[in-house]
Structure 1
């Protein structure tokens, strides 16, 4: 039974690492449900939501490190923006760990699911929204592999505020935070999909390390299951970064839409049915 669980978690790590790296999500949307279901199937009552979120965050750090190394080599990461987002996400990650232990998250789960639905809708109609001229503090230009030119940017205070909320979400649910970071980058700041996904993975790496240190301090991490997931997550992170470099921006956005819709349905369903 142990060998079967170990092999299963290896494959889950690979799959989650690939998808999470391509879309810039980190993979936690797969890790947490897998830990709660299969770990408790193997050892009933051994995995609580807090431990699942904490263990997931450790594995997300592995995925993010693996894919970030590849994305940096591809010159897809906006380093300056990633560091600015981290200024907000780091304290948010610490707050999220404490909220995870103190709050009843049922209502928050419902609200988060509804919020993700709104992100899905905005991603569906974003190309139809008339762009406005914004007074950005930071402006960037990027030309993708298809020759399409992007102009993107942000105001620093808004970037830090958005990143703070992302950091809270990352630690609270153990989902990596990319489910908010990537849509925010694309919708609010007009990041190109490739740059958004790559930069998000670096921010997730920083936030996941901070959140994981806090979780380790509180002894919330199951190292046995983290060790089962980590090798696959590392390989999947590199495979996802390679695959993303061959994909069109529209394909990445489409994948992001599907994943966000799935997350929203899952969270709303858990609240309504649970």
Structure 2
């Protein structure tokens, strides 16, 4: 089942799952923003169509990251059901739409796969911007961490909007969607950071599961003369290589969310995203 990969590649992929899972569980971003560029570094992108394989497998690993993270956040009482009641259904519907968009003819073939990677690079630029802005924001003016958002800010419309953007982005680019959902919840609903992370992790448990099924089921559409091996089996194989260590990382990251200050972690995350953005842009 894993014969297509060398021992060196297997070890690197497992370590990638651990690192991405830890960051994903800690920051509520699923982990794909680390996994997909990491897979490009480790396994390459010879035909361009591998972008679809990496997205499909990363969606599987997102489930492994988000489930233990969400359970840890739930035990900490960090989730807000007022938000999840509307955010989750919207994300489930829109992740299917996002996967459908990722399978459009413009993203087929070698050039299409490269352009899909560049779409992800643009998203990573946004993630970098959000995190740099948070580093530069004085602590006194940041969103309070010990207050609950009022009903004036937490509305069905705003929760649905966050879920819609999160799901569409996740399906299109193979990410968890937390990179958008976390700052959007903070901005639109004035929620504490840890609540935003917890809500995103909970939604990703379900949206990533549905997205992984849809993306892997359509993976064979992107098989080409240069890469005939694309199928749900190859997506599942690579996803299973990432998942065990991603699960461990998700548990560790979620625990660290409630124990460590995020500033140092955020700086490391920004540096990693800069490298990932450059790699995905394929310039």
Query: In which range does the TM-score fall when normalised by the shorter chain?
Result: 0.7 to 0.9
State the SS of the aligned residue for 2:149. Answer: strand
Match of 2:147 in 1: 149
Partner Cα separation in structure 2 for residue 204 and residue 183 of structure 1 = 15
Q: Deviations over 1:110-136 (max 9, x none)?
A: 6535544553465356658989xxxxx
Q: 1:14 corresponds to which residue? A: 18
- Distance in 1 between the 2:66 and 2:99 partners? 19
TM-score (norm. length: structure 1): 0.79
Contact preservation (8 Å) 1:120, 1:261: no
Please tell me whether residue 204 in structure 1 is matched to residue 204 in structure 2: yes
Quick one: distance in 2 between partners of 1:189 and 1:256? Answer: 22
What pairs up with 1:109-258 in 2 under 5 angstroms? 109=120, 111-116=122-127, 118-120=129-131, 122-124=133-135, 148-152=146-150, 153-219=153-219, 221=232, 222-247=235-260, 251-252=261-262, 255-256=265-266
Equivalent-residue separation in structure 2 for 1:170 and 1:122 (angstroms): 23
Q: Report the alpha carbon displacement of residue 77 of structure 1 after superposing the two structures with TM.
A: 1.9
1:33-70, CA deviations, whole angstroms, 9 ceiling, x for partnerless residues? Answer: 122232348xx559611111111011101111121122
C-alpha separation between the residues in 1 aligned to 2:124 and 2:252?
29
User: TM-score with structure 2 length normalisation?
Assistant: 0.77
Contact 2:99 2:172 in 1 (8 A): yes
Q: SS of the counterpart of 1:37? A: helix
Distance 2:267 2:169 in 1: 19
Q: How far, CA to CA, are the matches of 1:20 and 1:73 in structure 2?
A: 18
Structure 1: segments with no counterpart, 5+ residues = 132-141
Long gaps (5+) in structure 2: 107-114, 220-230
Higher alpha-carbon deviation: 151-160 or 230-239: 151-160
Q: Separation in 2 of the partners of 1:264 and 1:161? A: 28
**Compared CA separation, residues 50 and 269, structure 1 to 2 (3 A):** closer
Give the strand-richer structure, 1 or 2: 1
CA change 1:69–1:106 in 2 (3 A) is closer
Separation in 1, partners of 2:180, 2:263: 13
Distance 1:18 1:64 in 2: 10
Deviations 1:1-35 (A, max 9, x none): 62222222222111111111011111101211122
Paired residue total: 255
Query: Secondary structure of 1:154's partner?
Result: coil
Quickly say closer, same or farther: Cα 1:243–1:228, change in 2 above 3 A.
same
Check whether the contact 2:83–2:156 (CA below 8 A) recurs between aligned residues. Answer: no
Q: How far, CA to CA, are the matches of 1:113 and 1:243 in structure 2?
A: 23
CA distance in 2, matches of 1:13, 1:106: 19
**What's the CA shift for 1:78?**
1.9
Task: Provide the residue aligned with 2:112 in structure 1.
Answer: none
- Which of the residues 31, 35, 39 maps onto 2:39? 35
CA distance in 2, matches of 1:46, 1:125: 37
In structure 2, the partner of 1:137 is none
Query: Conserved in 2, the CA contact under 8 Å of 1:53 and 1:172?
Result: no
**1:95–1:239 CA distance, 2 compared to 1 (3 A):** same
